[in-house]
Every structure is written in structure tokens, then in C-alpha cells.
A and B are shown apart, each in its own frame.
Chain A
Amino acid sequence: MQVFAELMNRLAFTSSRNAKLDLMQDYFRTTPDPDRGIALAVLTDGLGLRLPFRRLVTQLMEPHVDPVLYKLSRDYVGDTAETVSLLWPARKGEGPVPTLPEIHRTLKSLKRTDAGPVLSGWLDTLDANGRWALLKLVTGGLRIGVSARLAKTAIAQAFNHNVADVEEVWHGLSLPYENLFAWLEGRADKPDPGDTPVFRPVMLAHPLEGDDLAKLEPRDWVAEWKWDGIRVQLAGNGRELRLYSRTGDDISRSFPDISDGFQGFSGVADGELLVMRDDDIAPFSDLQQRLNRKNVSTAMMKNFPAHIRFYDLLFDRSEDIRASNLPTRRKRLEALLSAGKFTRASLSEVIGFESFDELTILRDGAREANIEGLMLKHIASAYLAGRPRGYWFKWKRDALTADCVLMYAQRGSGKRSSFYSDYTFGAWRTGENGQNELVPVGKAYSGFTDDELKRLDRFVRDNTVERFGPVRAVTQELVFEVAFDAVQPSSRHKSGIAMRFPRIHRIRWDKPANEADRLDTLLTFIAR
């Protein structure tokens, strides 16, 4: 536990992705089984423990600390688990530090009434950082900036493998992953997932740029709409069904309506998850209501019904057809879907066209039709993992733009760690006192060159009016032409809107701030 606690602490304070990978690789290479397997489960959120934390904390802290001091401390620290880890009376050395397997074994079979004494016994053996790591582990919410994907990348790289190979076997494995490490270390064969519906790495598209189109022969290409949902993979063996995100996270639990709608499904299919009402695709913000939920209410499923629009098939029942060409896979997909009684499924329409000029007209109308753009797929392409060049292109609708005023800047991380490179910008509205005021509408950290970054950094340093930790408020005078894909309503932002994919399109050193856009203009961009 001590070594794992040190890893958790270092990860929590490390912002660079590569430095995080280094830390994890070092840990997985030097830690024995089964400890590292349990650590891997913790980092990929697979431990599945949920203790009634708040009640436990009250029970545990009561005898140790004055309630006034507890409240002042909690207010200052801002996090309950951390406050407890700091206030816990130091008795480090009371007995041996528990090992990760011991913690896991105990918690699995723990009666709720025993949770308090067991936890406090462990806390007594640890130092402050160890106590913090333990409390984070038992409550599940790590917040150390490590995604499941990053942890899998770390184990793959630690033993010179490709993360796609790890993804292929991942969902057929279980704690503590001893056969996985044995394979990665070259001591055993690749684990065989059998007929478990595991995740298969998805095929990704390149954006269509500049003169790409001129080089393509229309006959060789199939066109489809680019749907504005999230990419998913549906995998089933006739009995068991799983829904994966494009990074291989199992999101089945958030979509019981999908599980119900695909009973008996056998195969692996690629498609877009959407919210559909009758035959209408709802805006992306409706789909967001359904994402990242542990529990889904009946009302939620009724108001935001999930649906998959399919475009490809990787496995027809248990047959791997990824090496076949696109029309073959497409036929098999159509046959498979029409054979079953699958509600909540539809096929992504193939758009007939003679010339790219026709497609250009369709794409220009995409925004009006609430569609993200077009996809172009090479007719002879096999289904290839990753982002192979020259087979699939995404041809997005043109971005929207607005002129916004720089309000806050924050230092970046890694190579940009001493540069103010993350910008929050605002649009004008009429404030309560009748005066014009800026309200933040978005944040961007890309779209400018290194030279522009230097100039922006200088502007921020020379025009700081207030500092909040790593954030600086600046004089409201610099205008950015911001490009973005869409505007969504948002109750989490003061402005009531959220921009999708914002980036700095141009820096308008010349434009006076009072000529920037108003919030009302941005509101008109919200998709109906």
C-alpha cells in the first residue's frame, strides 16, 4: 500500500502525460503480482467498491476532533477525504501496513457495520499521504488525472506492447490480471478471451484537408453522413451484450435501454450512439444527459431514448470479417440487423453521388440539417485498427466564428508550463446595472502559432489586473476570433451556453473590444 500511495500522490501532482506514463510504467515493472493487478483495477476504476463514505467519516472522526476545528479545516482543505487524512491522529507504525490484496480481499466481504473499525485500523498504520490514498481508493473517486485508457497505455508501453493489443483482450480479463502480465512479460501466450464480447480497436478517420479532394477518384469512395453523437461499439455473443466507447470503456451500465433493445445480438458492430425521438435525432446536448451516469432512471430513458445508427460490422456472429472490403461488411451488417428484432437500431444511409461537387453542396447544407458533416470511406478498405492514412476521411461542416474578448489566462503544462496558454474569453451582455459587461463563454488553448503564443504571453503578463493562483485576469481589450463547431445550452455556465470544440482562429490585435460579439448573437447559434 505504501508504494501504491506514493504512486497515487505523484500522479496527482504530475500534469504531463508522459511523466504520468513514466511513473506508472516504473510501478508496473517493479511491483509483483497480485499487487500491481489490483493497482491496475483501481486506476481503471474496476474495483467496484462503494462504501457509505459520509456516514463512515462522521463516525470515525467524532472521537478525534472538536467539531468547530473539523468544520474550519474542512472549509479550508475543500475535500472531505483529504481533511480526514490530515486530521487523523498520527499513530503510524501501529501494526503492519496492509497490502493492496489484503485491502481488496477484506473490502469484498466486508459487512457495512464492520467498515468503521476496519478502516480506522488501517488508517492507524499509514502516514498522511497513505491515508489519503486509502480513502480515495475505498471511495472510488480518485481524481488524479489518469483515465483507464492512460493506465492501459502505461502497462502496454512498460512491456513494449501496443495498447490496441491490450484493449483486444482487456474485457475478457479479471482481477488481478496475472495472465495479462504473464503475457506482457513474455512468460505466457496472449490470453484467449473465448467468446466473451471484448472490445476491438476501432478504425478512425482523418480530417479532409486542403487539396485532398482533388486527389480522390469519386468512384472509389462511399459517402455517409457524419452523425453528431458518440462513437460506440456493440459486442454480443447471443447471451451477453456490451456497449463500449471508442476508447474501450464499458458503458453498458449507463444504457440499459440498449441492452434491452439488442437481446440475442451476436457480433461486433460499429456505429453512432444518438438520442432519437420518433425518427428525429436530438441535439448532442440531449445525449450528454445520458453520458457518465451510474444509475439511469426510467424517466431519463423515456425522455432521452438511446439509439444506435450502425455503419460497419467487425464480427458477424463469431466470424472475424475485418479483412473483407467495405461493401461486403456492409451487406453482412444489413443482413445481421434485419435478421434480429432489434429496436433502437438503424442503418447509416449511403449517399449516392456522381461528383464531389454534389457532395460539396450537401455538406454546405449540413448545418441547416443539424448534421456534423460527411464521411468518405474507400470502397476497398478493410477495417483497420487505429487511424490508417488514406482510407477514411471526415469532412466536417465549416466552423462558426465569433469575436470574443480575452478575460482570463492560465499557465499551461509540460512544454508550455511557464506560458499563459489557456484562455477564457467572453461576450458582451447588459448587466444588472444597465452597463455592458463581459460574461465568459468559452475556453481555448489551441489555434495559434508558437510566435503568437509568445506575444499572447507577453500581453497577459503586461496586462494583469488580478491573480487567482495560476490564473490571471487581464485588461479586457484583446479580441479573439474564435472558431467553434456548435453552441449548446448549459446550466453549468454563467452565460447559459457552452461552445463545442472552440479554438482561436485569429487574434484581432487591431479590433476594439467593444466591437466584439454579444451573448445574444451566440444564443442564436444554438441548434434547434
Chain B
Amino acid sequence: MIHDPATWLYPTAKGLYCAPGDFYIDPSRPVDRAVITHGHADHARPGNRSVMATRQTLDIMQVRYGERAGGCLQALNFGETITINGVNVGMAPAGHILGAAQVIVDWKGYRAVISGDYKRAIDPTCAGFEVVRCNLFITEATFGLPVFVHENAATEAARLVASLSASAHRTHLLGVYGLGKCQRMISLVRSAGYEKPIYLHGTLQGLCDYYASQGVNLGELRPFADQRPDDLRGELVLCPPSAIADRWSRRMSDPLTAFASGWMRVRARARQRDTEFPIVISDHADWPELLQTISDVEAGEIWVTHGREDALLHQVSTMGLKGRALALVGFEDEGE
């Protein structure tokens, strides 16, 4: 029984459920006991009675949800283990965003690792992915097609910095998600030698302040709202992706719109975004990283959650492993 993990760890309407431990991992609806991999809204939802996550994930949930972050918040940091109803639960870095963890579940000698979202590329804004050998590895497949090979992030950031001086008469408007991508992009352009102030759309400020408090160097950040749009020619402005298409962006005359995402690898997707300057940087594993990880963890069984699971399951079977598509509700494979 134990060796068929599907008998004690399975998807339900509320999310992935560990029956002997009586807890859910990244539930899509409020539950009594939730273990959360990381702070993105499709994984960390408000309103659970008790929440277990890394200290940083709990902090992020409080920045975002305040009182609604959860009834009882319990921190479980990387390397620590706790026992819930006889099930040992641990956390290992996932390399996705600040605080992002893989959840390690040990029950009666069988180990399952729920990776949440992860990447293997170096990212100075969070702890790097740690390989945890296991019997069952549950992986995402956001970029589960061999066409997705992300560019080297430092090279892509250098292109953006070069454009800021080559097209110095245009405001560079970079669309980023508020948690993770925003801070990583700032950190990357800083490493590429960009020292001028960076201007932020109001919704991005809170989490940038939190990253800075955790020792991530973001340099000088200024609120966009205080500026005259004409003074921002040749400057870098960050905003959520939706703001580029929204009336908000009209304040700038002829901005150069950039967007940083793994989806930018494919031209049709970049065109759908009307992006003039696509940047292929992602916080998710690309195809080679997915395959590398599946081979590194040495698991006999691979479950695939959200994304392009057809191709990845096909690959898993040609690798001689047992694969299964986990139909989990509530995850966004588009958001990145």
C-alpha cells in the first residue's frame, strides 16, 4: 500500500491531500491544515486555518493578505523537519523565488517530494534548488516542451541595459510579475552595471521593500507616481504586465515595451503581448532543467502537475519511468 503513493497522497477538489498527515499542499480552497510551497497567489491562498511554510513565504503572505494570511502560521525552515500525525514533513529550497520550498513528505520509509515551482538557474534573490533524492517526485511542467530553453539571464539583462543607452530617448517599460520576477530583474540589471534609479508602478513597492529587508540589494527605487512622464525618457520603469495594455501606460509617450518571461521564447506568444523587446528569462525550469532534475532525484515515479504535461510524460516514459498526470485544479500555467 505504502509503495503505491496514490493510496495516501492524492488530488482532491481542494488540492493535493496527504491522508495520514491530514494536510493539503498548496490547497485551492481554504482548509484546516495547509502546507505552502511558495508565495505566488495560485499556490498560497488566503483563509486557511493553519499554515505551514518557510518564514519568508509566511512573511510574503502577510504582506499580501494581512490578517487573512491564515489563522495559525507556523514557520518550517530549510533543513528542519516536523512530524504531523506520524508523517515527517521537511523543506528544501526550490530556487523559484524568495522563500520557495520543495515539500518533503516521509511516511513509513517512503519519500515523496512536491517541488512546487522551481528552477535550477542561478538566482541571487533566493536560495538555490537543492536535489532531494526520493521515491516519488511531483514536478511542474510550465515549460514542458523541448522548444523552451531559457536564455542566460545575465546576457538577457545586458541586452536590456544596452538598449537603455542605445534608445535613450524612449522610456523602457518592463512588464514583470510583482513577486519574484520584479526583484530578480532589478537585481540582474544591477549586476549588469545599471546604477540609475529604477521607477516602480505603485503595486510593486511593497514586495520590493520586503526583499530589501531580507538583504537582497535592489539599489535605488523610486515611485513612478511622483515623476513627470517626460522626465522618464531613457529611464527604466517596472510595472505589472496588465498595466502595459492599460490606460496607465498612456502617460508615457512612445515607450519601448519589454516583457520578461519564458513564454517570450516563442514569437507568437511575444506578439500576443505586443512586446517590442521580449526577454527570455523565467523563474521556472526550462526543458533541459526539467529533464536534469527528473534524472537527479532518482525517483521511480514522476507525477506532473500543471503545464504542458503531454510532452513531459512522453519523455518520462522514454526514460523508463512511471509517469502520471495530476489533474490539479486552480494552478495557472500561464502566469509567470
Q: Which of B250, B308, B318 contacts A418 (CB 8 A)?
A: B250
Counting residue pairs across A and B whose Cβ atoms lie within 8 Å, the total is 82
Q: How far is the CB of B177 from chain A (nearest CB, A)?
A: 18
Asked if B266 is at the interface (CB within 8 A of a chain A CB), the reply is yes
List of A residues within 8 angstroms of B149 by Cβ: 86, 90, 128
B315 x A69 contact (CB < 8 A) = yes
Q: How far is the CB of B97 from chain A (nearest CB, A)?
A: 25
Q: How far is the CB of A29 from chain B (nearest CB, A)?
A: 13
A414 x B254 contact (CB < 8 A) = yes
B318 closest partner in A (C-beta): A66
B243 closest partner in A (C-beta): A418
A69 x B245 contact (CB < 8 A) = no
Q: Which of A69, A83, A128, A418 contacts B311 (CB 8 A)?
A: A69
List of B residues within 8 angstroms of A470 by Cβ: 245, 272-274
**8 Å CB interface, A1-40 against B:** 12-16, 19, 26
B254 x A15 contact (CB < 8 A) = no
Please report the C-alpha to C-alpha distance between residue A418 and residue B255 in the assembled complex, in whole angstroms.
11
B276 x A14 contact (CB < 8 A) = yes
Please report the C-alpha to C-alpha distance between residue A378 and residue B266 in the assembled complex, in whole angstroms.
55
Please report the C-alpha to C-alpha distance between residue A73 and residue B268 in the assembled complex, in whole angstroms.
13
B314 x A19 contact (CB < 8 A) = no
Contact-residue size bin, chain B (C-beta under 8 Å from the other chain): 20 to 34
Asked if B267 is at the interface (CB within 8 A of a chain A CB), the reply is yes
B267 closest partner in A (C-beta): A82
**8 Å CB interface, A183-215 against B:** none
A12 x B245 contact (CB < 8 A) = no
B145 x A76 contact (CB < 8 A) = yes
Asked if B247 is at the interface (CB within 8 A of a chain A CB), the reply is yes
Asked if B293 is at the interface (CB within 8 A of a chain A CB), the reply is no
Please report the C-alpha to C-alpha distance between residue A77 and residue B148 in the assembled complex, in whole angstroms.
10
A413 closest partner in B (C-beta): B274
A415 x B311 contact (CB < 8 A) = no
Asked if A469 is at the interface (CB within 8 A of a chain B CB), the reply is yes
A87 x B146 contact (CB < 8 A) = yes
**8 Å CB interface, B150-170 against A:** 151, 166
Please report the C-alpha to C-alpha distance between residue A470 and residue B244 in the assembled complex, in whole angstroms.
12
B245 x A418 contact (CB < 8 A) = yes
List of A residues within 8 angstroms of B246 by Cβ: 418
Q: How far is the CB of B134 from chain A (nearest CB, A)?
A: 26
C-beta contact mask, B286-325 vs A, less than 8 Å → 1, else 0? Answer: 0000000000000000000000101100110010000000
Asked if B277 is at the interface (CB within 8 A of a chain A CB), the reply is yes
Q: Which of B245, B254, B270, B275 contacts A411 (CB 8 A)?
A: B245
Asked if A79 is at the interface (CB within 8 A of a chain B CB), the reply is yes
- Total interface residues on A, CB under 8 Å, equals 32
Asked if A399 is at the interface (CB within 8 A of a chain B CB), the reply is no
Asked if B147 is at the interface (CB within 8 A of a chain A CB), the reply is yes
Please report the C-alpha to C-alpha distance between residue A14 and residue B277 in the assembled complex, in whole angstroms.
8
Please report the C-alpha to C-alpha distance between residue A14 and residue B247 in the assembled complex, in whole angstroms.
21
Q: How far is the CB of A273 from chain B (nearest CB, A)?
A: 34
List of B residues within 8 angstroms of A68 by Cβ: 311, 314
Given A65-B146, A469-B272, residue A13 in contact with residue B278 (CB < 8 A): yes
Q: How far is the CB of B231 from chain A (nearest CB, A)?
A: 20
**8 Å CB interface, A408-448 against B:** 411, 413-415, 417-419
A73 x B318 contact (CB < 8 A) = no
Given A13-B278, A14-B276, A418-B250, residue A83 in contact with residue B245 (CB < 8 A): no
B276 x A82 contact (CB < 8 A) = no
List of B residues within 8 angstroms of A66 by Cβ: 314-315, 318
Please report the C-alpha to C-alpha distance between residue A413 and residue B273 in the assembled complex, in whole angstroms.
12
Most chain B beta-carbon neighbours within 10 Å: one of A77, A87, A418: A418
Asked if A361 is at the interface (CB within 8 A of a chain B CB), the reply is no
Given A12-B267, A13-B277, A417-B274, residue A73 in contact with residue B145 (CB < 8 A): yes
B272 x A19 contact (CB < 8 A) = no
**8 Å CB interface, B241-258 against A:** 244-247, 249-250, 254, 257
List of B residues within 8 angstroms of A77 by Cβ: 147, 266-268
Q: Which of B145, B146, B249, B276 contacts A13 (CB 8 A)?
A: B276
Asked if B265 is at the interface (CB within 8 A of a chain A CB), the reply is yes
B270 x A13 contact (CB < 8 A) = yes
List of A residues within 8 angstroms of B273 by Cβ: 469-470
B266 x A13 contact (CB < 8 A) = no
B253 closest partner in A (C-beta): A415
List of B residues within 8 angstroms of A411 by Cβ: 245, 274
A73 x B274 contact (CB < 8 A) = no
Q: How far is the CB of A412 from chain B (nearest CB, A)?
A: 10
List of B residues within 8 angstroms of A13 by Cβ: 267, 270-271, 275-278
A132 closest partner in B (C-beta): B267
**8 Å CB interface, A62-106 against B:** 65-66, 68-69, 72-73, 76-79, 82-83, 86-87, 90
Q: How far is the CB of B154 from chain A (nearest CB, A)?
A: 14
List of B residues within 8 angstroms of A12 by Cβ: 267
C-beta contact mask, A166-194 vs B, less than 8 Å → 1, else 0? Answer: 00000000000000000000000000000
Q: List 11 A-B contacts (CB under 8 A).
A: A12-B267, A13-B275, A15-B276, A66-B314, A72-B308, A72-B314, A79-B268, A86-B146, A86-B265, A90-B149, A419-B250
**Closest 6 CB pairs between A and B?**
A469-B272, A86-B147, A73-B147, A72-B311, A418-B250, A418-B249
Beyond A69-B315, A73-B147, A78-B268, 4 additional pairs, beta carbon < 8 A: A15-B274, A69-B145, A73-B146, A77-B268
Give the interface of B toward A (CB within 8 A): 145-149, 151, 166, 244-247, 249-250, 254, 257, 265-268, 270-278, 308, 310-311, 314-315, 318
